[in-house]
Amino acid sequence: MVWDAWGVPSGHAPLPEKIRTLLAQVFGVSGEPVARRAADDVPLRPRALTGEQLAALSAVVGAEFVSSEHRDRLLRAGGKSTPDLLRRRAEGPQDAPDAVVFPADHEQVLAVLAACAERGIAVVPFGGGTSVVGGVDPARGRFGAVIALDLRRLDALVDVDPISLTATLGAGVTGPQAEKLLGAHGLSLGHFPQSFEFASIGGFAATRSSGQASVGYGRFDDMIQRLRIATPSGTVELGRAPASAAGPDLRELFAGSEGTLGVITEVTLRVHPTPETVAYQAWSFPDFATGAAALRTVVQTGAAPTVLRLSDEAETGLNLARAGDVGGNAVGGCLAITTFEGSAAHARARSAEANALLAAAGGTALGEQPARDWEHGRFSAPYLRDALLDVGILCETLETATSWSNLAELKTKVTAALTDSLTAQGTPALVMCHISHTYPTGASLYFTVVAKQADDPLAQWLIAKRAASDAISATGGTITHHHAIGADHRPWLGAEIGEVGVRVLRAVKQAVDPAGILNPGKLIP
């Protein structure tokens, strides 16, 4: 990952002419990118670890796996939200962990935690660094120093069970590495969030990630069979069976714990045979309500697509679901995408059932191509966001979920909160939305917001984000469907789980991390 933007350098490209034209028309910006700081020129907060502390960490993992180098620290300075990038592009010194520690295995993670608990050093577990909610900010809490615990060396396919269709992966395995390792066994995980190319297995579990094929293969938490976790109080291994009535499911306490309760070091996951075929079918609906009702019918009937998405009128109009052609000719109405994976017969039977339902619900079949276009560009939206930031446009996303019956109300309220807030700041916004995760009882809503940057774009966005979060909370949505809590959503968690819920989280934290070194300032209110 580059330090001040998403992804790899090769993913970044100048804005296409048609987008520059659009920006000039709508927002009156020229489309000329500003210069960014060179990584080596960025002053970092001075290192706070003592020689004794560095020696203790080196004694655990080896001196070559403890780095206080400028570049290593800078690359773990935080996540990839728009506020993160705005902060990183601003002038002045940059906060960063005091050192980056690279443990080799579970036992070294345990030993690092013990060493840090003893010395009062905060620990931020670090996977792909793709958090968009401040989840990997190098916060020190009440401690004088903080390390990033980078899990990339835990990169093995530990075990495959081709009978039970499960696989155990190290926490540091990235999305592409997982697919490659499993692919050698004819298997696939099928977890494709937008962060797929960089994010890690441990991060997926710690944040309850949800991929674009969640309708077909489930959310990441659904896939978890077994977790191995290192805590300052020792090892926890959870999950003996596909399902159990042996009391509370403690896996669900550590899944989504965002590094505050322990460091997930290994995850055993449900996998599936590499699909023989993929069937693609795109649809157009006259409006969002009709399209949403159609998706609802499909998922409530159990027609079982692998991917099922719907863009609203604004997103469809900008062609945002077809990354290669944003701003180009759109299909009109509301674009829906379906894919069906499995054996040829299975995919054929399921797509026939879903197609009949979608047609009966008012959809017009658009053939395969728009669905293939969506798939082709599905990981590239963050690069476009970065290019927009460079030319003075504010662009950010946020997401929520609710029941089907509350979906329209929630969409209206969040859209109004965003547009009102940004209009009131003198920067009218374009707000687009899609449904990308559906369940029999409800769905997610994913918003993309575009406006002209104000003089202080960070403050500008935080006002809009707060308004949207308040609207989500007041309208009964969850503050996050798949981005997690981190630091940014923490003020809204209390309303969601209540006072007793917060007390429970604090009690668990106290039990497993009595010194409080694990990811301070995240998740727990």
Region 273-312 residues binding a copy of itself, contact defined as CB under 8 A: 296, 300-302, 304
Q: Which of 225, 316, 339, 427 binds a copy of itself (CB under 8 A)?
A: 225
CB half-sphere exposure, 377, CA atoms < 13 A: 17
Residue 290 annotated in ligand binding: no
Quote the radius of gyration of the chain (alpha carbons, Å).
23
74 binds a copy of itself (CB under 8 A): no
Record the tokens describing residue 29, joined without a space.
């910006």
Task: State the nearest-atom distance from the C-beta of 175 to a copy of itself, in Å.
Answer: 17
Burial 29-62 (b: 16+ CB within 10 A, else e): eebeeeebeeeeebebeeeebeeebbebbeebbe
Task: State the nearest-atom distance from the C-beta of 279 to a copy of itself, in Å.
Answer: 14
Number of neighbouring beta carbons within 10 Å of residue 63: 11
Residue 385 annotated in ligand binding: yes
Q: Which of 69, 107, 249, 276 binds a copy of itself (CB under 8 A)?
A: 249
Residues paired with residue 180 on neighbouring β-strands, in sequence order: none
Burial of 345 (0-12, 13-18, 19+ CB in 10 A): exposed
Instruction: Exactly one of 217, 280, 383, 446 is catalytic; name it.
Output: 446
168 binds a copy of itself (CB under 8 A): no
Q: Round to whole Å and give the CA distance between 336 and 354.
A: 12
Q: Which of 45, 70, 87, 346 binds a copy of itself (CB under 8 A)?
A: 346
440 binds a copy of itself (CB under 8 A): yes
- For a copy of itself, the closer CB: 169 or 326: 169
Site for a copy of itself in 26-45 (CB under 8 A): none
Q: Which of 106, 119, 208, 322 binds a copy of itself (CB under 8 A)?
A: 208
210 binds a copy of itself (CB under 8 A): yes
387 binds a copy of itself (CB under 8 A): no
Q: Which of 34, 240, 329, 455 binds a copy of itself (CB under 8 A)?
A: 240
270 binds a copy of itself (CB under 8 A): yes
Range in contact with a copy of itself (rule: CB under 8 A) among 97-105, 146-154, 255-263, 423-431: 255-263
Residue 126 annotated in ligand binding: yes
From 458, 443, 353, 362, select the one nearest 407 (Cα to Cα): 443
DSSP E strands in 53-96: the ranges are 66-67
Instruction: State which H helix or E strand residue 383 sits in.
Output: helix 381-390
Q: Round to whole Å and give the CA distance between 488 and 254.
A: 20
Tell me the site size for a copy of itself, rule CB under 8 A: 95
Task: State the nearest-atom distance from the C-beta of 399 to a copy of itself, in Å.
Answer: 9
Residue 25, SS3 per DSSP: helix
108 binds a copy of itself (CB under 8 A): no
Question: Integer distance in angstroms from the first to the last C-alpha of the chain?
Answer: 30
345 binds a copy of itself (CB under 8 A): yes
Site for a copy of itself in 457-516 (CB under 8 A): 476-485, 489, 493, 496-501, 503-508, 510-512
Q: Which of 19, 121, 124, 236 binds a copy of itself (CB under 8 A)?
A: 236
233 binds a copy of itself (CB under 8 A): yes
324 binds a copy of itself (CB under 8 A): no
CB half-sphere exposure, 417, CA atoms < 13 A: 23
Residues paired with residue 284 on neighbouring β-strands, in sequence order: 335, 364
CA-to-CA separations, 386 to 83, 152, 430, 437, 448, in angstroms, rounded: 12, 25, 17, 25, 13
231 binds a copy of itself (CB under 8 A): yes
Residue 128 annotated in ligand binding: yes
Site for a copy of itself in 388-417 (CB under 8 A): 400-406
Residue 262 annotated in ligand binding: yes
CA-to-CA separations, 328 to 277, 319, 402, 519, in angstroms, rounded: 30, 7, 32, 43
Task: State the nearest-atom distance from the C-beta of 524 to a copy of itself, in Å.
Answer: 8
From 79, 70, 76, 77, select the one nearest 6 (Cα to Cα): 79
Is 217 catalytic? The answer is no
CB half-sphere exposure, 233, CA atoms < 13 A: 14
Residue 244 annotated in ligand binding: no
Residue 51, SS3 per DSSP: helix
Q: Which of 176, 183, 234, 328 binds a copy of itself (CB under 8 A)?
A: 234
- For a copy of itself, the closer CB: 251 or 378: 251
Residue 131 annotated in ligand binding: yes
Task: State the nearest-atom distance from the C-beta of 253 to a copy of itself, in Å.
Answer: 4
Binding positions for substrate are 385
Binding-site residues: 125-131, 207-210, 258-264, 385
Catalytically annotated residues? 446
